[in-house]
Chain A
């Protein structure tokens, strides 16, 4: 069989026109012996050609394990046999009609087989990628005890198992669809790990909130009011609940509780007014200097240029905080030194 050529026009109409035309010719010739013989020969030729095509189609279909292709081809073969029987009984119009249906079914089988062969290969490659990525994400989700992501990954695994079952049944189109869905479930787990409630972000938020609470306690010192102490205690409690939620595999809830803890700590500061800002600023600057000194060697040894740049930005931010404090705006200076602490955190992340 040579390679197919293409004709870019609507052949559906042509098919029906050919069929209807053939039927009309067969009808009109019926009863006229010479012409009827000619019509009968044409129908015989048509059925014989269908047989040739069926053999060719069979060659294609057996190359794939596609069950639907085999079923449709089986139907085509049955119809073809029926058309022969009708022809031999002299029922020409019915024979031609059934032969046409046999050919339609044969072409349908060819189409399904062509699709299936492409899908077989695509499924193999996609399944390999799925397996690799699933393994990586499972490791990451387990490391972080992210139960929600683990659930998605478990579901993805089950869905891939279903795809495998259906693949073995030879329905590649459905298997492909199921494998795509398994990939979709896995991507959700990946987003959960990387995006909003992802473990890295959660750990970072926990760390920042812990520092915020510490800074607040330092800043308020022994002169904190009863209300401030109560808010601070509530912030501590919220942070502890956040840790518990994280450890129980509920990162979303943990993130919410972390946000609550940070808000409570900030309220404690706001309620305290600005009278103690100078003292708080001094403590924060001292703390920054101590941290920066501890970190300097590690940043240098790491050789990480991004870490070094961020570290230098932190030092610059601290200088700005000092200048702002000297200019008489301790509240702004406090915000600047907090930003400097955040930059130190980032630098530390990069070299860890």
Chain B
């Protein structure tokens, strides 16, 4: 959490154009979303595609600038060709004289009502809600202690084995830096509980500890670190084993010549109390290393190598993936966006499984190639165009085909979204 560096000579600055009263604004949006997932089916259609056109109205209110009680609320309702949606988010903060939050309340609500003729396979109307409260009982010059509590739930009108209601509750204690500077950090521990009213065997408790560090200098050099370790306890271990998870996220950039060398690395460890066919210990490392250069206000170019390795012991999932990534991004005020390409290959160390020989007729069949190597493309486009002060157009699209050595395993993921928004 940061707060801005106030100007030394603040009195000389003209803040007159900043908000002095609460503001309310509304907007209208029209657009479409399209999802594509192509995968092998044995006999018929191999592509699932859903396209949805929608119209949405939204209203947003905000507290005055610099108020002691700061709030923001946004409500949206949309009608689409597949479903109706409602969304409400609210954020309240009680801010101290030192500009550090003393109390914060975050709430969100989503409602979904499917149309009769929807293409979606699961069409039980549902609503989700989440409420989180944060209190900072101790605030020092540089550090604050924060207590958090939250609860959330999802409720399906017609629950089924695939559309399951659940409730989450949790609490946590965090220590976070408050001082302005180039370094931000935080440490925390939380406990969570998820319960499934209709399927209590998979109820779970989680205990976790986490920490983050963010250091940046004025030139954009810096490092961001995040780590979380979690213990997940399942009520009925025969159905799903309890597990440890360790997740780390590292990002860093160093100035070099006219640009920066960057490194992004993520690691994931899963360790189950008891391994099964589907819940197996694994270590995943993925990252990107490369060079970026250019002016952030015009165009920043990036070139790098992306890699991923999953070590799943003697499970057939073990693989190594390597790709070449290139991209450009711009943050211009009228037109901005980014375009990224990645091409690479994933190789499985041994994607075959051998069934228990005693249970299989060895003359006919005893092994199967569960996973096959593949080449892939990842194309990710995002663009925005501010047509006028009141109107803008957003486009997001991605396309990720996989070409396997076994053609029947080929698959493709795709997504496209277009939004035209009018903000009077």
- Among A57-65, A222-230, A268-276, A329-337, the one that faces the other chain is A57-65
Q: In the complex, what's the smallest C-beta–C-beta distance from A270 to chain B, in angstroms?
A: 24
**What count of chain A residues pass the 8 Å CB interface test?**
116
Q: In the complex, what's the smallest C-beta–C-beta distance from B263 to chain A, in angstroms?
A: 14
Give per-residue flags for B81-111: 1 if the beta carbon is below 8 A from chain A beta carbons, else 0.
0000001010101000000010000100010
Q: Are B91 and A138 in contact (CB under 8 A)?
A: yes
Q: Report Cα–Cα, A200/B91, bound state, in Å.
A: 23
Q: In the complex, what's the smallest C-beta–C-beta distance from B300 to chain A, in angstroms?
A: 9
The answer to whether A104 and B42 touch (CB under 8 A), given A113-B278, A181-B398, A194-B222, is: yes
Q: Are A49 and B361 in contact (CB under 8 A)?
A: yes
Q: In the complex, what's the smallest C-beta–C-beta distance from A127 to chain B, in angstroms?
A: 11
Asked if A247 lies at the interface with its beta carbon under 8 angstroms from chain B, I say yes
The answer to whether A194 and B220 touch (CB under 8 A), given A8-B352, A138-B91, is: yes
Asked if A85 lies at the interface with its beta carbon under 8 angstroms from chain B, I say no
Q: Report Cα–Cα, A200/B121, bound state, in Å.
A: 48
- Collect the chain B residues with CB atoms within 8 Å of residue A161's CB: 87, 110
Q: Pick the contact of B18: A71, A122, A247 (CB < 8 A).
A: A247
Q: Are B400 and A177 in contact (CB under 8 A)?
A: yes
Asked if A91 lies at the interface with its beta carbon under 8 angstroms from chain B, I say no
Q: Are B380 and A12 in contact (CB under 8 A)?
A: no
B residues 197-227 touching A (CB-CB < 8 Å): 214, 216, 218, 220, 222, 226
Q: How many A-B residue pairs have CB under 8 A?
A: 273
- Collect the chain B residues with CB atoms within 8 Å of residue A78's CB: 42-43
- Collect the chain B residues with CB atoms within 8 Å of residue A350's CB: 179-181
B residues 1-18 touching A (CB-CB < 8 Å): 1-9, 12-15, 17-18
Q: Are A49 and B360 in contact (CB under 8 A)?
A: yes
Give per-residue flags for A72-103: 1 if the beta carbon is below 8 A from chain B beta carbons, else 0.
10011011000000000000000000000111
- Among A28-36, A166-174, A279-287, A315-323, the one that faces the other chain is A166-174
Give per-residue flags for A1-36: 1 if the beta carbon is below 8 A from chain B beta carbons, else 0.
111111111111011001000100000000000000
Q: Are B329 and A181 in contact (CB under 8 A)?
A: no
Q: Are A203 and B4 in contact (CB under 8 A)?
A: yes
Asked if A349 lies at the interface with its beta carbon under 8 angstroms from chain B, I say yes
- Collect the chain A residues with CB atoms within 8 Å of residue B240's CB: 63
Interface residues on B, range: 35 or more
Name the residue on B nearest A166 (C-beta).
B35
- Collect the chain A residues with CB atoms within 8 Å of residue B179's CB: 350, 352
Main secondary structure of the interface of A (DSSP, over half): helix
Q: Report Cα–Cα, A200/B4, bound state, in Å.
A: 6
Q: Report Cα–Cα, A70/B122, bound state, in Å.
A: 13
Q: In the complex, what's the smallest C-beta–C-beta distance from B266 to chain A, in angstroms?
A: 10
A residues 269-323 touching B (CB-CB < 8 Å): 302
Q: Are A5 and B353 in contact (CB under 8 A)?
A: yes
Q: Are A171 and B37 in contact (CB under 8 A)?
A: yes
Q: Are B354 and A7 in contact (CB under 8 A)?
A: yes
Asked if A340 lies at the interface with its beta carbon under 8 angstroms from chain B, I say no
Q: Report Cα–Cα, A71/B381, bound state, in Å.
A: 30
Q: In the complex, what's the smallest C-beta–C-beta distance from A239 to chain B, in angstroms?
A: 9
Q: Report Cα–Cα, A125/B180, bound state, in Å.
A: 29
Q: Are B382 and A185 in contact (CB under 8 A)?
A: yes
Q: Report Cα–Cα, A159/B372, bound state, in Å.
A: 30
- Collect the chain A residues with CB atoms within 8 Å of residue B121's CB: 67, 169-170
Q: Are B220 and A196 in contact (CB under 8 A)?
A: yes
- Collect the chain A residues with CB atoms within 8 Å of residue B15's CB: 247
Q: Are B316 and A6 in contact (CB under 8 A)?
A: yes
Asked if A162 lies at the interface with its beta carbon under 8 angstroms from chain B, I say yes
Q: Are A174 and B370 in contact (CB under 8 A)?
A: no
Asked if B388 lies at the interface with its beta carbon under 8 angstroms from chain A, I say no
Q: Are B14 and A240 in contact (CB under 8 A)?
A: yes
Name the residue on A nearest B124 (C-beta).
A168
- Collect the chain A residues with CB atoms within 8 Å of residue B278's CB: 60, 63, 113-114, 117
Q: Report Cα–Cα, A86/B40, bound state, in Å.
A: 24
- Collect the chain A residues with CB atoms within 8 Å of residue B247's CB: 125, 129
- Collect the chain A residues with CB atoms within 8 Å of residue B368's CB: 11, 15, 103, 107
Asked if B394 lies at the interface with its beta carbon under 8 angstroms from chain A, I say yes
- Collect the chain A residues with CB atoms within 8 Å of residue B110's CB: 161, 164
Give per-residue flags for A123-155: 1 if the beta carbon is below 8 A from chain B beta carbons, else 0.
001000100000110111011110010010001
7 residue pairs from A and B, CB less than 8 Å apart: A52-B359, A62-B161, A108-B408, A159-B396, A162-B417, A197-B331, A200-B5
**9 shortest interchain CB distances as A-B pairs:** A196-B296, A105-B42, A4-B353, A195-B220, A75-B42, A8-B350, A247-B17, A11-B352, A5-B354
Residues of chain A whose beta carbon lies under 8 Å from any beta carbon of chain B: 1-12, 14-15, 18, 22, 42, 45-46, 49, 52-53, 60, 62-63, 65, 67-68, 70-72, 75-76, 78-79, 101-105, 107-108, 110-114, 117-118, 121-122, 125, 129, 135-136, 138-140, 142-145, 148, 151, 155, 157, 159, 161-162, 164-166, 168-171, 173-174, 177-178, 181, 184-185, 188, 191-192, 194-197, 199-201, 203-204, 206-207, 210-211, 214, 240, 243-244, 247-248, 250, 252-253, 255-256, 302, 345, 348-350, 352
Given contacts A72-B42, A171-B35, A196-B331, 19 further A-B contacts (CB under 8 A): A3-B314, A4-B277, A18-B364, A42-B363, A67-B162, A68-B48, A104-B408, A105-B42, A129-B247, A148-B331, A161-B87, A162-B33, A173-B37, A185-B382, A188-B329, A200-B180, A243-B14, A253-B333, A350-B179
